[in-house]
Structure 1
Amino acid sequence: MLRKENVEGYYYPLIDTVKLVCALFVVLIHCVEVEIGHPIATFIVKCFSTQAVPFFMITSAFFAANKIDRKTNLKKIIGLCFNNWLFKYSVWSILWLPFYIVLYHLKYPDVSFTYRFLMIVRRIFFAGQGVYWYLLVLAEAVFVVWFFVHFHKEKMLYFLGMIGLILGVLYDADVTTMGMDVMHKCIYALFSWSNNVFMKGIPYVALGYFLRKSKEQLHFESWKLAIMYSVASIGTVLLYILGKEQWLCLYPIQAGCLFLMACQPIRGKISKSLCLTCRNMSSAIYFLHTVFIYGIIDPVFGVDSPIIMKFSISVLLSIVVLFVVKRMKIHPVKWLLCVK
């Protein structure tokens, strides 16, 4: 059952375990670099992995919501965004910079230095670098949410979140009617994809904020949430089977239901140390798996190497690094991996 952790909030044991599952979903996304020949993995990625990052967004906003209120001043919210997310994102971006310099040189050998420089600037400051785009977009979205909350415009915030969610679906589906193609070109020029603050950040961070602020008034029964999640998942599978991959847009429902189910009381107790282990493993796996996939597995075994091997090696090495870092108490790396 829910256990009170301190006077300010509650301890939600299932959230940490679900975080680990979602981190594994994210790993699978980056393992399937070549879809042909990997039908099962591709099916899982298309129908289930896309709910993972929205779940993380909702969760992060839910626990940050108490620091986002009308009394929070500009200095405090900027400090929150920098200390929690932007500083880590900056360090990860610097660490990966040599990789992207080489990558863009190989990918665009005939373009000017200025063009490649601007491409890297766009990736780091707008699109988001690697899996770490999550940190950048989360910080941006938290700031936007604070702005609307600070000026008593919550309804406008939720409306903006809904519009962003819809536009993101239309962008991913490549809908070009009614001038949408112009908007898509602008979005691509600035962000290169839909994983940006307007289409992914604000919608899910606003939802997480709403759920935290309304948790006393909202009551969801687990069996109803399970039915909703199942219906959304079945709908996703049917769309995939029918070849309508561009309309696989039910993952927001999956992510929302998954989060709410993880917040429900449970029978018995889950060890707090076990939950902390799951939380740390999810963070380490999320931040490190692409290091091993792109830095070791792809160069040695090839991009189209067996999915099970890529998945297993990247997860195992991430856990090994976590164990070493914690055992040796390497605090800067622990901070970089968001582990406790």
Structure 2
Amino acid sequence: MDLMKLIMAIVVIAIHTEPLVRCEKIAVLNLYKAISDVAVPFFFLASGFLVFDKVIVLPKEEQERIILNYAKKILKLYLIWTVIYLPITIYDYVTNGESLIRNIFAFFKGLIFVGCHWNSWPLWYLLSVFYAFVLVRLIVYKKGLSQKVLTILAVGVYLIANEFTIILNNGYELNGFGQQLIKVVSAVFVNGRIFTGFFYIVVGFLMAQYKQLLFRRKSSEFLFFIAISICGKIATEGLLERCFLAMLAVSVFCFILISKVPDCKYWHTCRNLSTKIYLLHMIVYSFLDIVILDDRYANGLMCFVITIIGTIILSFGLIYFEKKSKVIEKLF
């Protein structure tokens, strides 16, 4: 699990730096897209499963307390890293040519509804996780609704959020009230991405609930589903493609989860490194494209390699000083 989180953190760097931007081989690009799209859903699934797996045997009141504390921790982390990324955010707002009032509104929209600003793309994951755990707490622990209702709501939110994003990305025109609603919602949330984390967190919750049944399955079964999902994702478009993505992400996570990996003293380092790489890499990339290359939209293999090397060096440096500083420890 920890090694896979490290690999997925590196995949996230690839998403943001586009190492294959000049590749023209369709088969390679399709496979790359199928694999890279799994990265963030994998982190959502890991968050949901690992948190609920720890609390599932506890009394319901204790479960709710731990979940609330975890949500508060994630929100605190999100706000801290929003401040850390603030110089990059300010740089964007100063140079984008928009008015001060418009930029202030854009900042608070990004802070509350989108989860990121320019080049702080990784932070939307944190805000989405926060909202997801707040919703699970409300639905399951406050309202006392069943797992069936929770699952139906999660699937519904996932489908609606993705369809909303697809409509925006493809410029589809709706009639009357529907088009007005799309305009209003897109003006607030930009797209439906922030809501998709809820589905994966709920799936992680269900995996924790039925872990024993999950571990009775064979790895080959999930490999089969992975193969089917990749083919389906490549062959389809729109909402169906998003459904195959969900199937692929869940299958990959289940395969990793039930795989028998021997204990290793380096797994903790992998976990520590994956968190830092995920949160730090856009700072390294921003320094590269703003200060060194003077190109705010720089991408390609060189950007990918330099960002990885720089981020790993910075991460190991923070791991070293983390042992001596409580301040650095609280950043992660």
TM-score range, shorter chain: 0.7 to 0.9
Displacement of 1:210 after TM fit? 0.8
2: CA distance, partners of 1:161 / 1:324? 40
Please tell me the residue identity of whatever aligns with 2:316.
F
Please tell me the residue identity of whatever aligns with 2:70.
L
Asked if 2 retains the 8 angstrom alpha-carbon contact of 1:48 and 1:251, the reply is no
Summarize the alignment of residues 105-120 of structure 1 with structure 2, pairs less than 5 Å apart.
Answer: 105-107=94-96, 109-111=97-99, 113-120=100-107
Asked if 1 retains the 8 angstrom alpha-carbon contact of 2:162 and 2:196, the reply is no
Residues 284-316 of structure 1: per-residue CA shift (max 9 Å, x gap) = 211111111122245423356562221121111
Residues 126-179 of structure 1: per-residue CA shift (max 9 Å, x gap) = 110221111111011111111111132132211110011111221232165576
Q: How many equivalent residue pairs?
A: 311
1: CA distance, partners of 2:296 / 2:31? 19
Summarize the alignment of residues 35-46 of structure 1 with structure 2, pairs less than 5 Å apart.
Answer: 35=21, 37-39=22-24, 43=30, 46=33
Q: Could you tell me which residue of structure 2 aligns to residue 233 of structure 1? A: 230
The answer to whether the aligner puts 1:17 opposite 2:14 as a matched pair is no
Residues 251-308 of structure 1: per-residue CA shift (max 9 Å, x gap) = 2111101110111142x6241x221122122112111111111222454233565622
Summarize the alignment of residues 80-229 of structure 1 with structure 2, pairs less than 5 Å apart.
Answer: 80-83=70-73, 85-107=74-96, 109-111=97-99, 113-129=100-116, 130=120, 131-150=122-141, 151-153=143-145, 154-174=147-167, 181-196=179-194, 199-218=195-214, 219-229=216-226
RMSD: 2.7
Asked if 1 retains the 8 angstrom alpha-carbon contact of 2:13 and 2:281, the reply is yes
Displacement of 1:70 after TM fit? 3.3
Query: TM-score, with normalisation over the residues of structure 1?
Result: 0.82
Q: Could you tell me which residue of structure 2 aligns to residue 315 of structure 1? A: 308
2: CA distance, partners of 1:324 / 1:141? 32
Residues 3-33 of structure 1: per-residue CA shift (max 9 Å, x gap) = xxxxxxxxxxxx1111112111111111029
Query: TM-score, with normalisation over the residues of structure 2?
Result: 0.84
Residues 90-135 of structure 1: per-residue CA shift (max 9 Å, x gap) = 111112223222312322x243x22211110010111102211111
3-state DSSP of counterpart to 1:220: coil
Displacement of 1:77 after TM fit? 4.1
Which of 38-47 and 20-29 deviates more? 38-47
Please tell me the residue identity of whatever aligns with 1:231.
I
Moved over 6 A (4+): none
Asked if 2 retains the 8 angstrom alpha-carbon contact of 1:34 and 1:304, the reply is no
The answer to whether the aligner puts 1:70 opposite 2:60 as a matched pair is yes
Asked if 1 retains the 8 angstrom alpha-carbon contact of 2:226 and 2:252, the reply is yes
Displacement of 1:42 after TM fit? 5.3
Asked if 2 retains the 8 angstrom alpha-carbon contact of 1:38 and 1:307, the reply is no
2: CA distance, partners of 1:126 / 1:74? 25
3-state DSSP of counterpart to 2:193: coil
Please tell me the residue identity of whatever aligns with 2:200.
Y
For structure 2, which runs of at least 5 residues remain unmatched after alignment?
none
Change in Cα spacing, 1:211 to 1:324, as seen in structure 2 (3 Å) is: same
